Amino acid sequence: MSERSTIDSFFTKFTSSVDEIELPQKFTFPFFYSPHPLSMRAALQLQERLESEGLGHNFGLENDGEEGALGKMFGVLVVKNKDGELGYLSAFSGKLGGQNHHQGFVPPVFDILTEGGFFLKEEEVLNRLNREIEAIENDPQFRFAIEEYNDERLTADVELKLLNDAFKASRKIRKAERASMEGMTDLEVTEMQERHRLESLTQQFEIKAKDEYWKNRLEGFKEKVVQFSSRIEAMKNERKLRSGALQQQLFDSYYFLNSRLEEKSLADIFQKGGLDQPPAGAGECAAPKLLHFAFKNDLKPIALAEFWWGLSPSSEVRKHKQYYTACKGKCEPILTHMLEGVDMDANPMLSGPEAGIEIEVVFEDDHLAVVNKPADLLAVPGKNVEESVFTHMKNRYPNATGPLTVHRLDMATSGLMLIAKSDAAHKSLQRQFIKRIIKKRYVAVLDGEVDKTSGTIDLPLRVDLFDRPRQMVCEEHGRAAVTHWELIELKEGKSRVYFYPITGRTHQLRVHSAHPQGLNIPIIGDDLYGTKSNRLHLHAERIEFIHPLKGNRMVVQIDAPF
């Protein structure tokens, strides 16, 4: 097959004219973007194919309760070929239907499933070791040896305990006898002390002899167990060494191209970022596959978009047909290398808000202030952006003592924040937060209609280690997160609700709103868990607290700007 025919099998032409769509001036910044119209056209065309073809994978669209049903992330990369024609490439993350290759989808950067390749050969060795370990662990003789040893050890523990208990009881008797020596002659006392000494020595000797007996006896039973367990341990050590070597060989064999056709291995990319080794699945996402194929085949990248197709994982928030940015933990180091030299949209997270932003002070006295934080302003300085509520307050109250900010709001969330002007006020308000004395009410507009009027959402949360700051539901390692909610109004297919957070976890209201086990409807404008818009429609509109010095209960409220 010629090089041109190979490219043509992956280069998909648009089925309708795109002449009316203006090309983007720069390539998509993959970690924060709104899909370009060309990307959306390509995605819709791919989605039409997915609707008609199963591709050997159960996406859970027809029966989401079916075992094994799960959606998949897909990506499209609009490209221009040597002839100046516009088209797009398609890719999926990981495997699809247990395979790396499907017609019309770009291949993986490195195919671990290549027949006769080192990965499959070594994987078979690891599988053989697993089978041998399992066979020994299930060997009836091994199980009998363990049971026999445990039975003997239990018998030994019982016998030794009886002897020790008898010794303690005798010692109490001897102590009582010594306490009643009054009226005894010196000879009688001496005889009693000698009798006590001999009794104690006899019992101690008996305990020591029995303990020695059981140590020797148990050693024989333990040896039978060790004969099996040492073989298992040796094979597990071999498996660990082989698995580590295989993983390292895999990382060293994964090479990614950039626009300058410079190669860099997966291992080198992540070591440069200060990590010992890449996380599992790194390099298997759609975006690296698409860009690698484009650079390798002299196709010019124009615009990128990734979308979710099918049922959401139980721990994450993934909506069918929703567009998502590239993950940071696995993809950011790789794409940073791959996009070197590409004229790309600026990272909006590196720039602060517009100049001249003002923060409204809703209430203040000598001890505290309540301010209305605008949307898209940090509560405290970030890694790349200094401007924040804190910096504004520091300038406004230069003589204030203490940390000023008592609590935080997400950057995208607007609304009321407490500001303490003194250490005493700060400590009092912080204590009120810890004891949950402070009550907060948020108002939000959801991108859909809820089917109840109120309820409580209890979903523990933890950070997604591979895609910070995104949060995920985790029953095992998550921290408790509880939210009460109440419907205010249904209008034009949207829901206006009150949220009453009992806990204060990062992105709690956003995840509880969007997650399938929560309200299953994202907040309008949520660029992480829903669809990006002009702003996040979430506002902290009411706060109740005890004045830190005066002691009276205060209620401050300000209406949402949406």
Which residues are annotated as catalytic?
410
Residue in 283, 246, 241 with CA at minimum distance from that of residue 265? 283
Distance CA 40, CA 34 (A): 10
Residue in 402, 400, 409, 354 with CA at minimum distance from that of residue 380? 409
Q: Within a 10 A sphere around the Cβ of 45, how many other Cβ atoms?
A: 17
Distance CA 149, CA 471 (A): 48
Structure tokens at 265: 């291995």
Question: Which residues touch 528 (CB under 8 Å, ≥6 apart)?
Answer: 469, 470, 507, 510
Amino acid symbol at 324? Y
Taking each helix axis from N to C end, the angle separating 186-253 and 118-137, rounded to the nearest 10 degrees, works out to 160
CA 343 to chain centroid: 31
Sheet of strand 323-324, all strands in order from the earlier edge strand to the far edge: 12-13, 86-92, 72-80, 300-309, 323-324
Handedness of CA 254, 259, 262, 268 (dihedral sign): negative
Distance CA 32, CA 127 (A): 41
Run of H or E including 424: helix 423-434
User: Residue 310, by phi and psi: left (phi above 0), alpha (psi -120 to 50) or beta?
Assistant: left
